């Protein structure tokens, strides 16, 4: 007992999982009934299904510590990391023990809950998530020290793990927008004092697929598992903050 | 209890009640309230575009005053009066929420919760005022005085936004969208309010024609027509082009929108200049 509220030790859950078989091209929703402890994560539930109910269910995960982003799925319409979601938190958050689970919508489904991440990453690659042209000092092999004040401006944005939860939640269509995480990757390098090619970066941001497709619905910030205020960084670009930092 | 804490508790109470509404709770739990507000902003914008088209269509009847007066008898029916009052909702919401977005995106104001409270608070006051004026139906004000005050305010706000973004490397059309939005933020709600000061202001052809013969009012109306049609056209393109990945289809959409809006611009400008 805790303050008069009974803490359940086990929950009887129903998981309605979207399935897809690439061989037959057939899609369907399959119900799984299972009993699970309150501190099990959703990745544990998928494993439990594999071990006890259905070995054919396919899903993705790697680190299972919210660092790689591969286990992103939609639970009752909300994109999130399955490895971060505890059963009890899910019951409280959604007010139900029935969960509809679907793959994220940023790329075609390969099988069940697995999407083609390579295709999803194509948009991130268009934003060039690396230093295009390092500043001179950086090239000489010396240690390049970023001042704490500079780093503080964008260090939050460097926590992005490209789980594509923000891109899934975004109001803008994924057909014409690079996506919040891809835009954020470019903004990180714009704010990075080691990057020289600021003009090229601005060109990406101000392109047809760039920030003009963002309508500041802030769903990206709302769903981000790393709690990055993505909308804030995109708004900095709209404000024209980075134009004064132009390099070559 | 401090005022801020009280305000936060009130907001939290209202949001908790709203989250119980089945459809709203989905947005609140999966995307957050700003996402829902963005959708409302889009829908309000599309409704306003349709309103501008209908408005220009009916104004075109001013060329034949008796036909205009005949059409306007319909708008005196209670149901149409009620619909006109309802129109105040998308007008003020789209205007103030647009103002919030400008403050967030261009002026770096990140206290979004407070800004949203202002959007809803001012919207309710405005909707109430429009309703009150419609019920009273006996207000009058000098059009020159009213529109001079409104135009100067709108121009100052538009200039403030233009000054902030003009030298940036953003697309010219995007900049115009923001500037026209800032200008319309004041002009459109003022236009709706002015039209409901008393029934003759907008429903009697002789009164409307007399007012529109003033060079100053012509200038105000032209600015309204051009800014509203540009803002609407860019907004429609922005919403619908998102779903078209084919470049050919996007060009076709631009052409279609341009033709429709230019046609309405032609009707509106010609009427304003020649009347």
Per-residue pLDDT of chain A (248 residues; tens, 9 = 90+): 344 445 668 999 999 999 999 999 999 999 999 999 999 999 999 999 999 999 999 999 999 999 999 999 999 999 999 999 999 999 998 989 999 999 999 999 999 999 999 999 999 999 999 999 988 766 566 678 888 999 999 999 999 999 999 999 999 988 889 999 999 999 999 999 999 999 999 999 999 899 999 999 999 999 999 999 999 999 999 998 888 665 55
**Token pair for residue B121?**
């608070």
- pLDDT cut 70: percent of chain B above it: 97
- pLDDT cut 90: percent of chain B above it: 80
Residue A142 Cα, gap to closest chain B Cα (Å): 34
Residue A107 Cα, gap to closest chain B Cα (Å): 15
CB A219 within 8 A of CB A171: yes
State the ipTM, two decimals. Answer: 0.88
Q: Which residue has the higher pLDDT, B20 or B253?
A: B253
CB B34 within 8 A of CB B115: no
CB A196 within 8 A of CB A123: no
pLDDT at position B4 is: 66
Give the other-Cβ count within 10 Å of A100's Cβ: 16
Out of A175, A216, A240, closest to residue B104 by CB: A216
Q: Which residues contact A170 (CB under 8 A, 6 or more apart)?
A: A177, A179, A180, A214, A217, A219, A220
Q: Which residues contact B163 (CB under 8 A, 6 or more apart)?
A: none
Give the other-Cβ count within 10 Å of A168's Cβ: 26
A242/B contact by beta carbon, under 8 A:
no
pLDDT at position A8 is: 64
Name the residue of chain B whose CA is nearest to A80's CA: B30
pLDDT at position A175 is: 82
Residue A143 Cα, gap to closest chain B Cα (Å): 33
Name the residue of chain A whose CA is nearest to B174's CA: A212
Residue A111's Cβ-count burial label (10 Å; 0-12, 13-18, 19+) is: middle
- Decide if B38 and A212 are in contact by the 8 Å CB cutoff: no
What's the rounded mean pLDDT across residues B75-80? 90
CA dihedral B228, B170, A229, A66 (to 10 degrees): 120
Q: What is the DSSP letter of A63?
A: S
pLDDT at position B248 is: 93
Instruction: Report the topology of domain A117-245.
Output: Fumarate Reductase Iron-sulfur Protein; Chain B, domain 2 (1.10.1060)
Q: How far apart are CA A18 and CA A59, in angstroms?
A: 11
- In chain A, residues with a C-beta closer than 8 Å to the C-beta of B245 are 175-176
3-state secondary structure (DSSP) of residue A147? coil
Digit-coded pLDDT (tens) for B23-64: 788 888 899 999 999 999 999 999 999 999 999 999 999 999
Q: How far apart are CA A55 and CA A80, in angstroms?
A: 23
Under the banding of pLDDT at 50, 70 and 90, the label for residue B223 is very high
Q: How far apart are CA B151 and CA B65, in angstroms?
A: 28
pLDDT at B160 over 60: yes
Residue B126 Cα, gap to closest chain A Cα (Å): 24
pLDDT at position A142 is: 67
Supply the DSSP string of B38-98, one letter for each residue: HHHHHHHHHHHHHHHHHHHHHHGGGGSHHHHHHHHHHHTSHHHHHHHHHTHHHHHHHHHHH
pLDDT at position A246 is: 54
- In chain B, residues with a C-beta closer than 8 Å to the C-beta of A213 are 242
Digit-coded pLDDT (tens) for B236-248: 999 999 888 888 9
Residue B124 Cα, gap to closest chain A Cα (Å): 22
Name the residue of chain A whose CA is nearest to B110's CA: A232
Pick one of 1.10.287, 1.10.260, 1.20.1300, 1.10.10 as the CATH number of B41-274: 1.20.1300
Give the other-Cβ count within 10 Å of A173's Cβ: 15
- Return the domain boundaries, chain B: 41-274
- Decide if A176 and B241 are in contact by the 8 Å CB cutoff: yes
pTM, 2 dp? 0.90
Q: What angle do CA A169, A126, A138 make, to 5 degrees?
A: 115
Digit-coded pLDDT (tens) for B2-22: 666 676 677 677 777 777 777
pLDDT at position A3 is: 42
- Nearest alpha carbon to residue B95 among B56, B46, B41: B41
Q: How far apart are CA B5 and CA B222, in angstroms?
A: 47
Q: How far apart are CA B185 and CA A31, in angstroms?
A: 50
- Decide if A217 and B26 are in contact by the 8 Å CB cutoff: no
Digit-coded pLDDT (tens) for B183-206: 999 999 999 999 999 988 888 999
- In chain B, residues with a C-beta closer than 8 Å to the C-beta of A217 are 31, 34-35, 37-39
Cα four-point dihedral sign A204, A210, A216, A217: negative
Cα four-point dihedral sign A30, A36, A38, A42: negative
- Decide if A176 and B104 are in contact by the 8 Å CB cutoff: no
pLDDT at B84 over 80: yes
- Least confident window among A227-236, B72-81, B125-134, B157-166: B72-81
pLDDT at position B155 is: 98
- In chain A, residues with a C-beta closer than 8 Å to the C-beta of B98 are none
Indicate the length of chain A as a whole number: 248
pLDDT at position A4 is: 44
Q: Which residues contact B94 (CB under 8 A, 6 or more apart)?
A: B41, B44, B45, B48
CATH architecture of structural domain A10-115: Roll (3.10)
A65/B contact by beta carbon, under 8 A:
no
- Decide if B101 and A216 are in contact by the 8 Å CB cutoff: yes
């Amino acid at each position: 007992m805790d303050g008069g509220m009974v803490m359940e030790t086990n929950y009887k859950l129903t998981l309605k999982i979207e399935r897809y078989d690439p061989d037959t091209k057939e899609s369907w929703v399959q119900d799984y009934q299972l009993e699970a402890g309150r501190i099990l994560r959703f990745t544990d539930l998928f494993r439990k299904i594999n071990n006890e109910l259905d070995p054919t269910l396919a899903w993705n995960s790697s680190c299972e510590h919210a660092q790689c982003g591969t286990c992103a799925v939609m639970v009752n319409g909300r994109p999130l990391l399955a490895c971060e979601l505890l059963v009890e938190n899910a019951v409280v958050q959604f007010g139900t023990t029935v969960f509809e689970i679907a793959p994220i919508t940023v790329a075609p489904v390969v099988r069940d809950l697995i999407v083609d991440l390579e295709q999803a990453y194509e948009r991130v690659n268009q934003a060039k998530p690396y230093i295009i042209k390092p500043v001179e000092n950086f090239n000489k092999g010396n240690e390049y020290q970023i001042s704490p004040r500079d780093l503080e401006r964008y260090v939050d944005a460097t926590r992005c793990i490209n789980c594509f939860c923000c891109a899934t939640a975004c109001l803008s269509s994924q057909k014409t927008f690079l996506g919040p995480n891809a835009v954020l990757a470019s903004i990180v390098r714009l704010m990075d004092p080691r990057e020289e090619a600021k003009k090229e970066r601005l060109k990406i941001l101000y392109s047809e697929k760039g920030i003009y497709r963002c309508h500041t619905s802030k769903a990206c910030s709302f769903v981000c598992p790393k709690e990055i205020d993505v909308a804030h960084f995109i708004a900095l670009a709209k404000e024209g903050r980075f134009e004064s930092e132009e390099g070559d | 209890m401090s005022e801020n804490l009280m305000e936060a508790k009130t907001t939290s109470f209202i949001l908790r009640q709203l989250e119980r509404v089945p459809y709203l709770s989905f947005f609140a739990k999966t995307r957050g309230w700003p996402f829902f507000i963005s959708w409302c902003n889009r829908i309000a914008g599309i409704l306003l575009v349709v309103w501008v088209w209908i408005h220009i269509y009916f104004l075109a009847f001013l060329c034949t005053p008796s036909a205009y007066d005949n059409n306007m008898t319909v708008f005196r029916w209670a149901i149409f009066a009620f619909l006109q009052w309802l129109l105040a909702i998308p007008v003020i919401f789209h205007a103030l929420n647009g103002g919030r977005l400008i403050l967030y995106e261009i002026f770096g104001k990140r206290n979004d919760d407070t800004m949203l409270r202002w959007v809803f608070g001012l919207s309710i006051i405005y909707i109430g005022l429009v309703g009150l004026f419609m019920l009273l139906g006996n207000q009058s004000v000098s059009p020159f005085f009213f529109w001079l005050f409104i135009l100067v305010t709108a121009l100052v706000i538009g200039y403030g936004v233009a000054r902030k973004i003009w030298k940036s490397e953003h697309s010219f059309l995007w900049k115009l969208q923001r500037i026209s939005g800032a200008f319309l933020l004041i002009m459109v709600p003022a236009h709706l309010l002015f039209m409901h000061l008393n029934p003759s202001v907008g429903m009697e052809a002789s009164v409307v024609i007399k007012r529109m013969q003033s060079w100053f009012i012509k200038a105000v109306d032209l600015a309204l027509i051009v800014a509203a049609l540009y803002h609407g056209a860019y907004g429609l393109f922005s919403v619908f082009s998102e779903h078209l990945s084919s470049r050919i289809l996007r060009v076709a959409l631009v052409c279609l929108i341009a033709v429709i809006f230019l046609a309405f611009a032609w009707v509106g400008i010609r009427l304003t200049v020649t009347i």
